[in-house]
Structure formats: C-alpha cells, structure tokens
Amino acid sequence: MQITSINQTNNNTPNFNGLTKILKKRIYIDGKKDIGLILQEKKPKNTYAGELPPVIFYALPKEKRTENIQKIYKTFDEVSDEIREFKPGINSPRDEYTNRRPQSAVDKLKNMFVELGMIKKEDNFDIKYLGAGEYKKAFKLEGIKDKKTGEELTLGVFHLVDKTPEWHKYKSHGNFAEINISTYWKKRHGQETQRGKFYWGDINHGYFVSKFIDRNVKPAKKHINEYNDGLKLTDEVMCDTGHNKLYGYSIDPGGVRVVNRIKNESKIAQRVQTHIKNTPLQFREQEWYKHRYLEKKWDKKQIQAGLALCIKHLPNKEKHVEECLSFNNPLADTGIGYALKYLPEDSAKKYFEILMKRKNPTTQTVLLNEIPLLSRTRQAQKNIDDLDVPKGEIRSDKIEEYYKIAEKHVLPEVEEHLASYLHLLPKDKIMPEADKLIAKGNYHINDRLLHKIKFVKDEEYSFGDKMEVLGKLDKVEKNDFLKSKISTVRTQIIRNQLDD
C-alpha cells in the first residue's frame, strides 16, 4: 500500500490518504519512536498528512487539481527547508533578519500562488515571523485570506528534522509527534475546537500549516476536555492566554501526552465509561450489566474495555475486576490495568501479577507505566490517570514489590520499561538491579537508563549513582550512538553539578 499518496480518486476532496489514516487513529505513546517504526515498515515515498485548506483547495481548477496539489506540497517542502537552513549574513537585508527567512522563500511561495491564480503579481505577500519556541518557528502567510470565512494561515517550521535514533525528547514534540497529535485531534473532534484548525503537514520536511490566531478570531464553537480522550497537556497554560495559548486557543500541538490508551484509541470504550460515570451511583451497576449483556451493534471487545474503565466508578470494585478478567480480552485487561490504583493495595498487587502473567505486551507496558501511581501513598483525590508522581509521594518499598513482580513475568519486548524505575528503588537495590539490566545487552534498556540519568534531578537520583551507572554502561556498550550519548550525558551532568 502506498500510504502517503495524494487522494487521486476523488478530485472533490482535498485530503492526503494513507499516512493520515494511520496517524488519525491514535496518538502514539512514544511519538517519533513509534511513528518511525511505522515508516520504516511501510517505506513510504513521502510523509504528508492532513488536507489542504479550503482557501487553497477550492482555488484549484478541477481539471488540474492533482497536478497542482503536487506542485503545492513540493513548493512548501522547499520553502520549509530553506527557512530551516537560513542564517542571515552581514549583507542580508533587514527584512530577512526581522522575519527569520530568506527572501527567496517568499518569492517562491508568492510565485506559486500567482501561478495558481490565488493572488496577483502586484499583490502584497509575505512570510511574516510570529515567534519561536524550543522546537519550531511560526510564520503568518500574509496575503492569503479566505474571502468567505476571513481565515488566514500559519506556517510552522520545525528547527530540526532529527534523523538520529534519538526519540525521548520527541515523544510529544517535533515533526513526528505534533503532526500525529494534530491529525488525531482533527479526526476525533473536527476543526471547531479550542485546539484550532490543522490542515496539513509533512514529517520528512518538518512543517505544518494551520489556522492563524489573533484577537479577531471568533471563540471556538466547542471546548473539549482533553482528559476525556485519555490525554494530558504538559506544555501549555490552562487559562485563555499564556504559554502556548492565545485568545482561548492552543497554538502549539506539542506536549499532549497519552495517559490512558483505551480512551485515546476507542470511542466506544470512552462512551461506555462516560455514560456509566454520569449515571447516579445507585444505578451504575445496573447500567454496567446492561452494557455487558445487552446486544449492541458496537464492537464487543471495545465495550468490555469500557466496562473495565468503569471499575473506578463502581462499588465492590474487586467483583467487577473478576468479571472483566473473565472476558479474556486483552483490551479489557489493559483497562483493568488503569483501574488497579483504585483498589486496596493488596488487591492491586494481586491483580497486577495476574495481568502480567497473561503476557500481553500492551497490557504489560501499561502495568509497568502504572508502577509509580500504584506505589504512591494512597490519596483518593489524586488517583487519576497521569504520567508523573512526585518522588515524595512514592514508597520505594512498593516500587520494589511491583518491580520484582514485573521482572519475573515481563516479555522481552517490554522489559526496557523496567529501566525507567531503577532510580526509584531502595538505595541498596539500585546497583544490583542496574547490573542485571545492563547485562542483558539490550539497546532499548540502555537507552532508557541514559534518558533517566540525563533528565531526573539529582535530588531524586543521586549524582553518585548516575556516575556509577554511566561507568557500567561505558564498559559494555558497543553501539556508536549510545557510546556517544554516554559521553554527552556524563559531560552534561558534571556541568550541572558544577553549576549547582
């Protein structure tokens, strides 16, 4: 299957097919890592996702639409690459300094729009710099405006199209993750929400086009709570204007992380859970059993997963865990995995092991990711699907209990996640477990060990322990990328120590 070709079967639709179909299904947990594996398997000719905005698409003559679409994305590819590589020289015009792009990029886009009949040669057109963050620059395409809606366009150009194996910093940021997040949200909730309008982007050339936001844009018609889709916002303020927010709109798709895979991937499971959660407490069990036994047109396995997510909202939770286990459905098992933190500690540990023994890689991954939440001091009001837990709330003895169960039953393709919790073990267990993990000679385990050394603060993972683990890795690691990374991480943490 050619997964990224332009849809040529229907010239009345502006969408790209293939990759869009893959990216709209879910937000991939590990961003660049997961999407990169898909691209490696499919070997696409290009990596476009989304659809052209109406202001461009409907300006194209039907008889030449396919040809012109090809011309449009080829031109945007070239322009984004020029902008990314641009470094103004001593003799560069002031305008190039101010707007952070070469005049050649402006001319190239303008000539294309003139050729397509969207603007005239004498019309004003510019690529106007709006601002920059850690991962990209934003520009307004000034001179292109939808006469019917008044909409204008923004071009986002990523600073780097990183082709190295590094992926940790690109879990929810960068050209892979942000195009995935935007494509997913658009399919899930449409174009009229507080997350703005995404039109199309290209992973290989590192850019995307979206709706321009300023004070003249009308408020969003729908406000969707991202948490209902199993998502957590990690890189924007909650108020209307501030970091990555403008006039009530999210202006940066980066930083959206998945905290519940079931809700992220299954609308049916989400609907079941929402319905039962909103049912008065005295009638919830009745509704739960209705969904279990009544015949519906919905997919049964997704209904069962939704029932598993409902455990947190029901009395007699252990009874419903047992019933969900009887489904023998891996999707429901994953749902149970998210419910364990709402059970008494002994019960949670018992079912954690039962689920680990079922040997489903997705369920096991979720269970390992839940270990910090399961090991925290129990506070009912804080038991939500989340990513991070303050170390002060985590009991290292509980981490060790769950770690040992996981270590006993974990599948080879999942065991890399054990490395994420090494530093949370009791102090005297860190090095013995580090030796075990490093002895496996697993690239992904060692990569995760390095990631934690680099990003966990010294008060949570001592400088001495970090240096000792780095020394152990340095003695055995053969991979060139990881050997280089060991050196870089060592230099960084020593500098951080000296700065303190």
Give the global pTM.
Answer: 0.93
Distance CA 425, CA 105 (A): 53
Task: Walk along the chain (500 residues) and give the pLDDT tens digit of each residue.
Answer: 222 344 443 455 555 567 899 999 999 999 999 999 999 998 888 899 999 999 999 999 999 999 999 999 999 999 999 999 999 988 899 999 999 999 999 999 999 999 999 999 999 999 999 999 999 999 999 999 999 999 999 999 999 999 999 999 999 999 999 999 999 999 999 999 999 999 999 999 999 999 999 999 999 999 999 999 999 999 999 999 999 999 999 999 999 999 999 999 999 999 999 999 999 999 999 999 999 998 778 999 999 999 999 999 999 999 999 999 999 999 999 999 999 999 999 999 999 999 999 999 999 999 999 999 999 886 654 556 666 777 778 999 999 999 999 999 999 999 999 999 999 999 999 999 999 999 999 999 999 999 999 999 999 999 999 999 999 999 999 999 999 999 999 999 999 988 86
Tell me if 208 sits within 8 A of 198, measured CB to CB: yes
Structure tokens at 21: 């179909």
The pLDDT, as a whole number, for residue 347 is: 97
Q: Are strands 48-50 and 198-202 parallel, antiparallel or unpaired?
A: antiparallel
Integer CA distances (angstroms), 318 to 321, 351, 395, in order: 5, 9, 23
Distance CA 265, CA 291 (A): 19
- 323 burial class (0-12, 13-18, 19+ CB within 10 angstroms)? middle
Asked whether the CA dihedral 172, 178, 179, 180 is positive or negative, the reply is positive
Distance CA 405, CA 374 (A): 13
C-alpha closest to that of 151 among 180, 192, 187: 192
Owner of token pair 């992973």: 203
Cβ-based neighbours of 391, under 8 Å, separated by 6 or more: 424, 460
The pLDDT, as a whole number, for residue 6 is: 45
DSSP per position, 296-347: -SS-HHHHHHHHHHGGGGSSSHHHHHHHHHTT--HHHHHHHHHHGGGS-HHH
C-alpha closest to that of 153 among 166, 143, 167: 143
Integer CA distances (angstroms), 154 to 27, 161, 210, 443, 469, in order: 23, 19, 5, 39, 45
Per DSSP, the three-state class of 206 is coil
